[in-house]
Structure 1
């Protein structure tokens, strides 16, 4: 499953199911973090694979889950692509 498929799957699932999916991929998120990140899922663009993630989006993620967790998520993303 690629990264975009994971995101689309998480969009359709309940918070608890999304947590199980994230856990299965080694992404440590709490239910509250999933709820905070969920509105941002619609902003993600496939083009970012080629252009990089905009700083404005990175800032939104860090506001949602904190600086440390935000950095960890982006590090995991870079490891996946």
Structure 2
């Protein structure tokens, strides 16, 4: 039963990350088709960068705390990249 809850929580984390990435891609598509100016597009994208980093960090920490070592190791390069920025 515990693995079911771990799977559900990680599923919701991944859906949240997917929504953030799709939002960023939609902003870039609007910029490409000249529906929005570059300043507005960058301000919209910049608002979701920190929540994306926090969500990815929480997901990596969640995998680490629940003992899913392989998934935690797969999250490590992305976490390292986010910390280095």
TM-score by length of 1: 0.31
| Structure with the larger helix share | 2
- Which structure would you say has the larger Rg? 2
TM-score by length of 2: 0.31
